[in-house]
């Protein structure tokens, strides 16, 4: 197959390129920024550029995006141009050449204010209605809806993967950065709102296979959480207590590293549908974390280590990995 990867110089585009380079498929990477995985440099907002790159393509893995780290540094029009117009250009060109699978990388950030609660963690499944709280979420939802439209009107097989956090960069929350070491934060998040990039890649590869069969679908792609709906109130008030119920060795293993669990967990991403319909089996969960800590190993996948920290901007900032909008 001939596979087009958009955003091939970014975290996920690079990870997909690394893995697919070992396959028999022919991969073409496009991005605004050069890298060894990018074959054509240009903007997906440029319709002519997209049409040229789409010739002979069988599968599109659309990972290119402006996202949360760009909210302060880029205009809302920039988000519309890249996330909406860019996606439309790709869908139109894909439909014209008869693409067999169009996989769109979306985000759990689309749920936004729907994940707010004052007394219990929110159980986040595909049935939760998104309430975007910024231009990033708004434009990703619009792009998702364009994918659905192109499946409805043109029978283009489209799978949307709403991924949770998988980046290696430092957290944008200053208080969190000052309270926990970075690895502690990311280990905690694998319980409920993070996924290893190797597992994200596996979900995309499975989506390629399943798109012609499923036709259209939206899936949450996040590490498998051990919790149930019955845990939601207690997770909000005393997360470590709930955790000890599922992992009896959690406390001594964390204690040996002087790590701590967050006192409260406010959401739980549920990946049941992706596991059921895509056949996805994520490997890197919290049990994996504990086993690695016990054995003195890095709990990140080799692929996550290989991709590493790429950053989101050419410039650096004094306060955190990128400027944050307080809203």
Is 319 part of any domain? no
The proportion of the chain whose per-residue pLDDT surpasses 70, expressed as a percent, equals 94
pTM score of the predicted model: 0.94
Q: Each residue of 290-301: pLDDT tens digit?
A: 999 999 999 999
Q: Each residue of 20-64: pLDDT tens digit?
A: 999 999 999 999 999 999 999 999 999 999 999 999 999 999 999
Q: What is the pLDDT of residue 325?
A: 58
Q: Which domain holds residue 100?
A: 2-307
pLDDT band of residue 317 (cuts 50, 70, 90) is: very low
Q: Which is nearest to 217 in space by CA: 159, 262, 263, 170?
A: 159
Is 253 part of any domain? yes
Is 121 part of any domain? yes
- Residue entry with tokens 């998702």: 144
- Please, are residues 71 and 136 in contact by the beta-carbon 8 Å criterion? yes
Q: What is the pLDDT of residue 308?
A: 87
Phi and psi, residue 139, nearest 5°: -75, -30
pLDDT exceeds 90 at position 171:
no
Is 124 part of any domain? yes
Is 327 part of any domain? no
Is 314 part of any domain? no
Alpha-carbon span 308 to 310, nearest angstrom = 6
pLDDT exceeds 90 at position 185:
yes
Query: What's the total number of domains in the chain?
Result: 1
Report CA-CA distances (Å) from 216 to 100, 136, 150, 189: 12, 22, 10, 29
Q: What is the pLDDT of residue 322?
A: 46
Average pLDDT over residues 101-122: 97
We report the CATH number of the domain holding residue 113 as 3.40.50.720
State the average pLDDT for the chain: 94
pLDDT exceeds 70 at position 118:
yes
Helix, strand, coil percent content, the chain, rounded in steps of 5: 45, 15, 40
pLDDT exceeds 50 at position 313:
no
Is 318 part of any domain? no
Q: What is the pLDDT of residue 71?
A: 78
Is 322 part of any domain? no
Q: Each residue of 206-222: pLDDT tens digit?
A: 999 999 999 999 999 99
- Please, are residues 31 and 38 in contact by the beta-carbon 8 Å criterion? yes
Q: Each residue of 241-265: pLDDT tens digit?
A: 999 999 999 999 999 999 999 999 9
User: What tokens does 104 get?
Assistant: 């769109």
pLDDT exceeds 70 at position 321:
no
């Amino acid at each position: 197959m001939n596979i087009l990867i958009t955003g091939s110089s970014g975290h996920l585009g690079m990870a997909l390129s690394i893995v697919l380079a070992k396959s028999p498929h022919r991969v073409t990477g496009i991005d605004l920024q050069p890298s060894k995985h990018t074959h054509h440099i240009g903007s997906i907002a440029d319709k002519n550029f997209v049409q040229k790159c789409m010739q002979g393509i069988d599968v599109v893995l659309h990972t290119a995006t402006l996202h949360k780290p760009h909210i302060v540094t880029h205009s809302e029009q920039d988000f519309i141009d890249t996330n909406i117009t860019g996606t439309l250009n790709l869908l139109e060109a894909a439909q014209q050449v008869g693409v067999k699978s169009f996989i769109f990388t979306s985000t759990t950030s689309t749920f936004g204010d729907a994940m707010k609660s004052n007394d219990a963690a929110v159980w986040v499944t595909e049935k939760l209605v998104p309430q975007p709280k910024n231009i990033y979420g708004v434009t990703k939802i619009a792009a998702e809806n364009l994918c659905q439209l192109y499946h409805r009107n043109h029978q283009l097989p489209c799978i949307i993967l709403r991924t949770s956090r998988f980046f290696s960069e430092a957290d944008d929350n200053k208080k969190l950065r000052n309270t926990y070491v970075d690895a502690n934060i990311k280990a905690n998040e694998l319980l409920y709102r993070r996924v290893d990039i190797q597992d994200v890649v596996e979900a995309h590869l499975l989506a390629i296979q399943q798109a012609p069969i499923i036709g259209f679908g939206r899936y949450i792609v996040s590490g498998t959480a051990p919790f149930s709906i019955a845990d939601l109130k207690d997770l909000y008030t005393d997360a470590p207590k709930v955790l000890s119920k599922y992992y009896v060795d959690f406390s001594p293993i964390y204690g040996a590293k002087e790590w701590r669990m967050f006192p409260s967990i406010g959401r739980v991403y549920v990946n049941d549908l992706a596991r059921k319909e895509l056949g996805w089996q994520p490997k890197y969960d919290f049990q994996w974390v504990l086993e690695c800590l016990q054995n003195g190993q890095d709990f990140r996948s080799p692929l996550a280590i290989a991709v590493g920290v790429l950053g989101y901007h050419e410039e650096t900032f004094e306060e955190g990995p990128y400027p944050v909008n307080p809203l």
